[in-house]
Amino acid sequence: MKAVVTGADGFIGRNLVVALRRARVDVADIDIDSPPGALVPAVRGAAVVFHLAGVNRPEREAEFFTGNVGSLNTLLGALDELPATERPAGRPLTVLSSSTQASGDSPYGRSKLAAERALEAHAARTGAPAVIYRLPGVFGKWCRPNYNSVVATFCHNITRGLPVTISDSSRSVELVYIDDIVAQFMTHLEGRAAGLARGDVRPTFVASLGELADRIRAFRAMRDTLLVADASDPFTRRLLATYTSYLPPGDLAYPLQQRTDARGTLAELLKSPRFGQMFVSRTNPGCTRGNHYHDRKVEKFCVLDGDALIRFRPILGDEVTEHRVSGTDFKVVDIPPGMTHSIENVGRTDMIVLFWASEILDPQRPDAHILEVLRG
């Protein structure tokens, strides 16, 4: 299958081209630096043309129509040059990326509306299939900051410790995620009936500029607080992916605060009121951790390296249970409430263990009561 992408070097274009090529689609990518006349041979034999080319921040107002209407007319002219044997049944589907601003009265919005009407007229005249998408603000990886995306600007600045300027924190913006757009566009590889249709991308999200900045600042604070974002929320999940994509490559690694004593070292990894917390320890040979029990907290131990002996005893009983676990096992051991427990490094090398606890440690109410597993 062959597809054409105009504006292939833009934000949406780059993401779409990657997805198309991953699906083994033959992609003809057209952009501003493509040679004159490249569209005519590109559209021949194409199943679908994604018209993403356009302008939104030109130096002169007249360039809105040149970039948004003129570029589409150039494409439609190339489609009209298809051999008669390929018309109308052989015409490719044209997918137009428009904007929700087409319903407004700004120069940009008027140019987008004019482009929609040009495609409508072309579809009515030729019977060729066409789909128009009115997209709100788009966010995601590879969007240019300090240009026309507030999310890209916030992510770029906050990842670098730069200030963000908000003129009206209560102003709301509607947003759609780049991968949701790409996924919807990819459905058009399956073809579409002749005529004009209106497309829709879901989900979309609405947030105030103040809320948006606060969410992104919270992502940056995660390295200090260890409080992870709520990944069950679709908007948060997409926003976190976007934020992370703007981290400078040299800033992807960061240290954890370590607590060290005679037994070894321990560091907290992640915390959340929804899932509790995770931490990791390195324990010296012959040393033991634990010898305490919990009233309500549940834990899981996973030995990643070394050899461990995990012991349990009911706090109201005498029977001791032992589990010998090695880092080669990838075995998880559950730690129930009401059972005093310990973990001993019985190997010759350091023992590394990953822990999960069902709640975040509260130093005022730690729910860890000292009690030796082995009596006497």
State the architecture of 258-370 in CATH terms.
Sandwich (2.60)
Residue bearing tokens 């996973």: 302
Model confidence, pTM: 0.91
What's the rounded Cα separation, in Å, for the pair 301 and 108?
58
Coil vs helix vs strand at 6: strand
pLDDT at 88: 47
pLDDT at 262: 97
User: What does the DSSP assignment read for 210-244?
Assistant: HHHHHHHHHHHHHHHH-B---TTSHHHHHHHHHHH
pLDDT at 73: 95
CB 92, CB 43: distance < 8 Å: yes
pLDDT at 62: 84
More confident site: 246 or 195: 246
CB 58, CB 105: distance < 8 Å: no
Closest CA to 140 of 183, 97, 200, 94: 183
pLDDT at 104: 93
pLDDT at 63: 85
Band of residue 196 on the pLDDT scale cut at 50, 70, 90: very high
Burial classification of residue 194, based on how many CB atoms lie within 10 Å of its CB (0-12 exposed, 13-18 middle, 19 or more buried) = middle
* CA-based max dimension of the chain: 96
**Which amino acid, 217?**
R
End-to-end Cα, the chain, rounded Å: 76
Burial classification of residue 138, based on how many CB atoms lie within 10 Å of its CB (0-12 exposed, 13-18 middle, 19 or more buried) = buried
282-307 residue pLDDT tens = 999 999 999 999 999 999 999 999 99
Q: Give me the chain's average pLDDT, please.
A: 94
78-115 residue pLDDT tens = 999 987 655 445 689 999 999 999 999 999 999 999 99
Band of residue 204 on the pLDDT scale cut at 50, 70, 90: very high
Over residues 178-193, mean pLDDT: 91
Residue bearing tokens 């054409």: 4
62-75 residue pLDDT tens = 888 888 999 999 99
State the architecture of 2-138+174-203 in CATH terms.
3-Layer(aba) Sandwich (3.40)
Closest CA to 356 of 330, 372, 334, 339: 334
Active-site amino acid positions: 108
Domains of the chain, by residue range, sit at 2-138+174-203, 258-370
What's the rounded Cα separation, in Å, for the pair 165 and 171?
13
Rounded to 5 degrees, φ, ψ at 271 are: -140, 150
